[in-house]
Amino acid sequence: MSLVDRARSATTLAGGLGTILDSGLPAPAPAGHTLVPAGHPGQPLAHPLAGWEGLALVRAERVSCPEAVRLLAAVRIGLTERMLRAAVEHLTGRVADGRPLVDHPVLRGELADLTATLALCWQGLGTGTSTAALHATLDRAGWATSVLFGASGYLRDHPVRCLYLAELVHDTWSDHVGLA
């Protein structure tokens, strides 16, 4: 299995980051600090959310690593696909207007759009879609997936929180600056 395939098949955010960093790539830290799996070398800094997903914020030498940021997109694709499958189960179990939510056309359309978006991102990893564009798309797809869980997806202990933490990892890993 290739590295990008292994990144996509990670079942946790920390596991996905571990797959990338265990390959020998440095943890990107363009601002001098970075979110990494807990236990990764580096001087730990306080962060209110990192521990939720087994991560730690550490001080690190300023370094960019575009390949690690590209592989992070693969991790995010895999986690979003996983959460999308969980969302289908959630929507199957909830009823509105006498039928499961998953049978409502609006939500079916959303599930199809999200699946298509993730498939396009996955292909884009191999065809040279810019990493910044991939992550911007994954930000939107991650939120759209979280919304499928309703307010329960906004609880701190809900597994879909990993998609928000993945956004924060991207924030510390990427040296891309938005259009100014």
Partner 1 sequence: MSDWREIGRALRAGALALDAAPHDTEAIAADEALRAVAELDPIMLSGKDSAAALIELARGDAGMVLAAPGPALAGRVLAQLGDDEQRERLRAAVAGGRTWAYLAITEPDVGSDATRLRTELRRDTDGRYRLYGTKRYIGNGHRGTVGVVLARTGPSPLALRAVLLDTARARTRPLDMLGLRGAQISELEFDGVPVEERDLLGAHLSPLRRGMWSIAQVFTAVRVQVAALAVGTAFAIHDLVADHHPSSPTLDDAHANIRAAEALVLRAAAEADHDRESAAPAASLAKLTATGVALDVARTLPRLLGPAALVTHPLLEKWCRDVRAFEFMEGTSQIQRLHAAQGIVRGSVWHAT
Give Cβ neighbours of residue 9 (< 8 Å, ≥ 6 apart).
1, 78
Stretch that binds partner 1, among 19-27, 70-78, 123-131, 149-157 (CB under 8 A): 149-157
Site string for partner 1, 56-85 (x = CB under 8 A): -x----------------------------
Identify which range of 18-26, 27-35, 81-89, 117-125 contacts partner 1 by CB under 8 A.
27-35
The values of phi and psi at residue 44, to 5°, are -70, 145
**Amino acid, res. 57:** L
Residue 164 binds to partner 1 (criterion: CB under 8 A): yes
> What sign does the dihedral 148-38-18-129 (CA atoms) show?
positive
User: With 0-12 CB in 10 A as exposed, 13-18 as middle and 19+ as buried, what is 152?
Assistant: exposed
Secondary structure, 3-state, 162-178: HHHHHHHHHHHHCCCCC
Nearer to partner 1, 9 or 42 (CB): 42
In the block, residue with structure tokens 């979110």: 35
Residues 102-131 that bind partner 1 (CB under 8 A): 106-107
CA 131 to chain CA centroid, Å, is: 13
Cβ–Cβ < 8 Å for 77, 5: no
Q: How far is the CB of 80 from partner 1 (least distance, A)?
A: 15
Q: Does 175 bind partner 1 (CB under 8 A)?
A: yes
Among residues 42 and 47, whose Cβ is nearest to partner 1? 47
Query: CA–CA separation, 78 vs 8, rounded Å?
Result: 4
Contact region for partner 1 (CB under 8 A) — 5-13, 19-27, 117-125, 134-142?
134-142
Please identify which residue in 24, 41, 48, 105 interacts with partner 1, judged by CB under 8 A. Answer: 48
Instruction: Pick one of 26, 129, 139, 159: the residue that binds partner 1 (CB under 8 A).
Output: 139
Where do contacts with partner 1 occur on this chain (CB under 8 A)?
30-34, 47-48, 57, 94, 96, 106-107, 136, 139-140, 143, 146-147, 150-151, 154-157, 161, 164, 168, 171-180
